[in-house]
Amino acid sequence: MKKKKVPSMVKDQQLVKKRREQMIKAAVTLFKEKGFHRTTTREVAKESGFSIGTLYEYIGSKEDILYLVCDAIYDEVSEKLKKRLTHDAEGIESLKSAIAALFKVIDDLQDEVLVMYQESKSLPKEALAYVLQKEMDMTEMIEQVIQECASQGHLQLTDQEIKLAAHNILVQSHMWTFRRWAIQKNYTLDEYIQLQTKLILEGLLKKPM
For the chain, how many structural domains are there in total? 1
Residue numbers of the domain that contains 162: 13-205
170: domain CATH number?
1.10.357.10
Is 130 among the domain residues?
Answer: yes
Is 190 among the domain residues?
Answer: yes
Is 4 among the domain residues?
Answer: no
- Rounded to whole angstroms, what are the CA distances from 183 to 99, 110, 119, 196, 208? 17, 13, 22, 12, 30
Categorize the per-residue pLDDT at 116 as very low, low, confident or very high, splitting at 50, 70 and 90.
Answer: confident
* Contact predicate 155/93, CB 8 Å: no
**Which residues, 6 or more positions from 95, have their beta carbon under 8 angstroms from its beta carbon?**
145, 146, 149, 201
Distance CA 116, CA 73 (A): 8
pTM: 0.84
More confident residue, 135 or 52: 52
Helix extents (H) in 85-124: 92-108, 110-119
Could you tell me if residue 2 is left (phi over 0), alpha (psi between -120 and 50 degrees) or otherwise beta? beta
Q: Has residue 89 got a pLDDT over 80?
A: no
Distance CA 71, CA 37 (A): 18
| Mean pLDDT of the residues in the chain | 90
**pLDDT value of residue 209:** 52
**pLDDT value of residue 50:** 92
User: What average pLDDT does the segment 148-153 reach?
Assistant: 91
Is 5 among the domain residues?
Answer: no
Is 87 among the domain residues?
Answer: yes
User: What average pLDDT does the segment 6-25 reach?
Assistant: 92
* Contact predicate 104/84, CB 8 Å: yes
User: What average pLDDT does the segment 168-187 reach?
Assistant: 94
CA angle 76, 108, 103 (to 5 degrees): 95
Is 144 among the domain residues?
Answer: yes
**pLDDT value of residue 207:** 53
**pLDDT value of residue 47:** 95
Distance CA 29, CA 34 (A): 9
Q: What's the one-letter identity of residue 92?
A: I
Q: Has residue 37 got a pLDDT over 60?
A: yes
More confident residue, 143 or 1: 143
Is 21 among the domain residues?
Answer: yes
DSSP string, 165-201: HHHHHHHHHHHHHHTHHHHHHH--HHHHHHHHHHHHH
Is 7 among the domain residues?
Answer: no
**pLDDT value of residue 128:** 86
